[in-house]
Amino acid sequence: MINNKASALNAWIMVIREKERQKCVSDREKLNLDDIIKFDKLFSVRVDDVTSRYNTDSLNSRFDGNDITENEIRERENTFSGKDRGCLFRGKYEIAFLTKFLRKIQDDLCCRSPKYFPEKRKVSFNFTDGNILSELSRFADTSQCLRDYLKDIKAKYYAQSDRQ
């Protein structure tokens, strides 16, 4: 849902970053997205819909000297075809969407007459964009392959430190 609405935004960001690399822009001079582009200004989230609140002109107007064309954005978006966009796109927006979406579900579930659920329920989520991963990780299973990998790393690390 969010990836369809965020495709043009992520393409725009990638074009900006590519131009910065071509110009060898220092880290200090790079466009700081965190200070300027806030999720709530870009998207409206409901349980059944996500709406984008931006277009190329509105993005370009926020950043002087970065006039990205629709054609550049479409060319970049074409490179997303057949790829896992969740791995390509800006993770902060993915997390912000998840937080907003879960909050909307919670709000509906806790209201007197839920629209998306058969009955009201008491649900208590205590999460923000900053802590959602640690809050949800409590419910995650650790796969056996991850355990095996960590065991191998631990064995190699201690084997090397014993030789020194």
| Contact by Cβ (8 Å): 11, 80 | yes
Percent of the chain having pLDDT more than 70?
91
* Whole-angstrom distance, CA of residue 39 vs CA of residue 49: 15
* Whole-angstrom distance, CA of residue 155 vs CA of residue 75: 47
What domain range is 146 assigned to? 2-163
Question: Model confidence over 115-135: pLDDT tens digits?
Answer: 999 999 988 778 887 888 888
Residue 161 clears pLDDT 60, i.e. is over it: no
Whole-number pLDDT of residue 162: 56
Question: Is the overall model pTM greater than 0.75, yes or no?
Answer: no
In this structure, which amino acid lies at residue 66?
N
In total, how many domains does the chain have? 1
Average pLDDT for the chain = 84
Q: Is 24 helix (H, G, I), strand (E, B) or coil?
A: coil
Question: Model confidence over 130-152: pLDDT tens digits?
Answer: 888 888 888 888 889 989 999 99
Question: Model confidence over 58-69: pLDDT tens digits?
Answer: 888 877 656 788
Whole-number pLDDT of residue 107: 92
In this structure, which amino acid lies at residue 34?
D
Whole-number pLDDT of residue 92: 83
CB atoms within 10 A of CB 149: 11
Q: What is the mean pLDDT of residues 7-32?
A: 82
pLDDT band at 78; cut points 50, 70, 90: very high
Whole-number pLDDT of residue 118: 93
In this structure, which amino acid lies at residue 136?
L
